[in-house]
Every structure is written in C-alpha cells, then in structure tokens.
Amino acid sequence: MRNACTLVEAVAEHQPLGVSELARLTGIDKSAAHRLAVTLHRAGWLDPTDEGRWRISTTLARRTRRSAVAALTAAMRPRMEALRDQTGETVMLVAIDHARLMVHDVVESRQALRITTPAEAELPLVGASGARAIAAYLPREELAALRRAHPALDDEEALAPVRRRGWAVNDGEVVAEARAVAAPILTSDGYPLAALVVFGPRSRMTAARMREYGALAVKAAQERLASQRVAVR
C-alpha cells in the first residue's frame, strides 16, 4: 500500500512518467514499479499515454477534485459572506466539472435589486468571469481539452490580462444587465480549483467598482490560500 501511494504521488507531481522515471523517483525496483502501475491502471487510478508513460486517470482526478471542491465550499462560506458585506453584491463559488461551469455555493446580496442564481446551477461557460479566472491558470493540456469542448472559449490574448491582474471580468456577456468579476482559488501548486465571483446589476457595478471588487475577490481567495493550503489536483 505504501509503494502504491508513493507511486501515485510521484505521477501526480511529475506526470506523465515512464517506468524508468518512476523507479528513479520512488526508489521502487523498475519491474515492481511496472507491475504496480499496471495494477493501479486496472483499479482506475492511472492511465497510460500513447507513448507508454503513466498519468493520473481522469476518473481519479475528477473524484479527488470533487472532494476538494466540497471541502472548499464549506471552508469558503465565511469568506464569501464577508465579501458580500464588503461589496453589497451577490457572491458565488464556481468550479469547472466535465467542461461545465457549476455553482457550488451562493451568498445573496441584501439589496432589493439583485442578481442571483441557485446553488448547483450550471452557468454558460463562454463569457463567464468565473470560467475565465479558472481557464487562465489551467495546465495547457486541460485548457486545450476545454477549448475542444467550447471552441468559443477565450484565446491566450484574452486570458493574458487575467493572469496579469489576478481577476477576470464579465461585462454583460452572459446576462445583458449584469456585470461580474472573479478571482481563482489556487491550490498550493498553482492549480485553479475554483473561482470566487462577485456579480450585480450594471447600474451599480461601474468600471471603478469592478476594479475594486476584483481586488477584493483576489484578496479573499489569497487569504483562503494562506490560511489553509489546498494541495489536491
């Protein structure tokens, strides 16, 4: 069991890996590493690449990611409520799952005029600030797969400003009378597990306020990261 955990950890950190690389990184005999990798593949934990190397299976990655997002949702609730109180607008936590943008939690604005969406709802991925915030930090292979599913997704030129300032914008692209800003919540190795979104009516979300709320969303995401590092991929 210890060797299996050691091998999976090595693949998760350095994937894809050949058997020789696995043996070198883990200290497990090459033939034993090969047998263990095959066993883990049969169990649904590892997948072989076309070149005969090993990577974490999509099934395992999805299961771990869902567990991490569930834990994150509970931990982020107080941060979301504080961000709602700072901005006066609705705040939600979103994540990409199976090439879909899913809402995991919502803290509604107390304003009489507000824009909201129910938890567990699916949002349009193209044009959404939360999707942009996540896509800007995805590994190249995952971003390419996401673009195959959604060819209209932003190109590199559009995502570069998100990386530069740390937050993304949706200026009426999903709902005509709404604006939103979003900041990614990153794991300890820089993977975008989810995004924190602030959104409201255009009449209140001016350009100046979008910049202000974007900075506040980044701060909330970074405070979460500093207080409890998330390391699940």
Do 97 and 207 sit in the same domain of this protein? yes
Cβ–Cβ under 8 Å, residues 233 and 12: yes
Residue 160 falls within a domain, yes or no? yes
Q: What is the pLDDT of residue 52?
A: 85
* Residues of the chain falling short of pLDDT 50: 227-233
Q: Kind and range of the H or E element at 182?
A: strand 178-186
Q: What is the pLDDT of residue 60?
A: 67
Do 44 and 86 sit in the same domain of this protein? no
How big is the chain, counted in residues? 233
Q: What is the pLDDT of residue 229?
A: 44
Q: How many domains, the chain?
A: 2
CATH of the domain at 82: 3.30.450.40
- Structural domain boundaries, residue 12: 2-56
Tens digits of per-residue pLDDT, 98-119? 788 999 999 999 999 999 899 9
Cβ–Cβ under 8 Å, residues 169 and 214: yes
CATH of the domain at 18: 1.10.10.10
Handedness of CA 144, 150, 152, 158 (dihedral sign): negative
Residue 147 falls within a domain, yes or no? yes
Q: Please give the full DSSP string across 44-101, using - where no structure is assigned.
A: TSEEE-TTS-EEE-HHHHHHHHHHHHHHHHHHHHHHHHHHHHHHSSEEEEEEEETTEE
Which one-letter DSSP state was computed for residue 4? H
102: left (phi over 0), alpha (psi -120 to 50) or beta: beta
Residue 90 falls within a domain, yes or no? yes
Q: What is the pLDDT of residue 138?
A: 93
Do 80 and 182 sit in the same domain of this protein? yes
Do 11 and 101 sit in the same domain of this protein? no
Q: What is the pLDDT of residue 9?
A: 83
Domain end marker among 56, 72, 90: 56
- For tokens 């955990």, the residue is 5
Taking CA atoms, 76 is separated from 48, 81, 104, 191, in Å, by: 36, 9, 11, 17
What are the helix (H) ranges across the chain? 2-14, 19-26, 30-42, 58-87, 129-135, 140-149, 156-165, 207-227
Q: Specify the pTM.
A: 0.73
Tens digits of per-residue pLDDT, 2-48? 888 888 888 877 888 899 988 998 898 889 989 989 988 888 888 88
Taking CA atoms, 97 is separated from 14, 61, 216, 226, in Å, by: 23, 11, 25, 25
Do 155 and 209 sit in the same domain of this protein? yes
Q: What is the pLDDT of residue 225?
A: 52
Residue 233 falls within a domain, yes or no? no
Do 16 and 92 sit in the same domain of this protein? no
Do 124 and 223 sit in the same domain of this protein? yes
Residue 81 falls within a domain, yes or no? yes
Cβ–Cβ under 8 Å, residues 190 and 231: no
Do 39 and 132 sit in the same domain of this protein? no
Q: What is the pLDDT of residue 233?
A: 39
Q: What is the pLDDT of residue 230?
A: 42
Residue 174 sits at φ, ψ, to 5 deg, of -105, -50
Note if the bond before 124 is cis, omega within 30 degrees: no
